[in-house]
A and B are shown apart, each in its own frame.
Chain A
Amino acid sequence: MADLAIDSQHGASGAHDEHATSTGLPNTKLAMWMFLASECMLFGALISTYVLYRGSSQTGPYPADVYDIPYTSVSSFVLLASSLTMVLALASAQKRDIVRMRLWLLATAMLGLTFVGGQVYEFTSFYDEGLSISTNLFGSTFYVLTGFHGVHVTVGILMLLSLVGFSTADRLPDDAAFPVEMVGLYWHFVDIVWIIIFTVVYLIPSPAPAPA
């Protein structure tokens, strides 16, 4: 059998350097899925830690004292909407409609910024109510979990804005759909992680506080 990966001529579109592979699938996309699989491990650890220490705090504030479910629900809708604008950006890229692709990418980045801004506001209000990362087990596990997620969203926003920048500078390959799809996979993953966090952290009520 020939080498696992051999050089080949670029596609007819003259697009990015995608070599022939033994799987017949782009290695970049396989690597992205492997990366997302590894991210399941990371967020699995953080979510499990939160669940493990639920109701174990000896002092307040407790989740019921600080959570604002209507506010967080709006944030969840915003992140869900950003997933829609992301796939619409991909659909535009596949149709080679670059102007619409940029608009949808910018809309996705703006919705992401709204979500992160909402998270910063939420963290600030929780802190004002006396919940810091070192106040109790709830504070530690909550800030680490949602903070990691917020950092992931921020990285996603930077990637989206980079795509817009590269596109404006005409530095994207002719087939812009591929990089948009890769960034989109990451963005949707951040969304599915939030789906789990919203349910486990916010909606499922914590047990009564442990007696001191």
Chain B
Amino acid sequence: MSDIETPFQQELGARDLADPREAEATHHEHPSAKEYIRIALILAVLTALEVATYYIDVGPLLVPTLFGLAVVKFALVVMWFMHLKFDSPTYARFFLMGLAGAATLYLIVLITFRVFLVE
């Protein structure tokens, strides 16, 4: 293979070709079982709050509240159960690329079709 480095290789340049296991081991340890249970309890409470919000009349705050709770639950699962908080940021970049791409594309589609327009 050529000795010329591509920009991607240069970006990665600081890292040697290494055993992935060792590279993974340089990152933080995954949480303990107790921490997993604590996160699961928080998720259960947030879900209960979501369901309660559905039954309580909070007027125009309903949608923002439900979205806020869903985003917090989403982030907790991704960061703690899927370990993005502890693993290499490269995984987070890959995932966020897809997530942000999808969110941007479909928001544009929905805005184009005036879904958020209150008549």
Contacts and interface: CB of A to CB of B under 8 A. Distances in A.
B66 A199 contact: yes
A24 B1 contact: no
Contacts of A86: 81
Contacts of B62: 204-205
A24 B15 contact: yes
Nearest to B5: A1
Contact of B90 (A2, A25, A51, A204): A25
Contacts of A185: 82
A196 B113 CA distance: 21
Interface string B75-92: 001100111000010110
Nearest to A202: B54
15 contacts: A15-B21, A23-B12, A25-B88, A37-B95, A37-B98, A37-B99, A38-B98, A44-B106, A48-B109, A52-B109, A84-B37, A91-B30, A94-B30, A196-B70, A203-B50
A189 B95 CA distance: 11
Interface string B49-81: 011011000000011001101100110011001
A47 B106 contact: yes
B98 A40 contact: yes
B17 A51 contact: no
Q: Which of B18, B73, B81 has the most CB of A within 10 A?
A: B81
A77 B46 CA distance: 11
A81 B40 contact: yes
Contacts of B99: 37, 40
Interface string A141-171: 0000000000000000000000000000000
A30 interface: yes
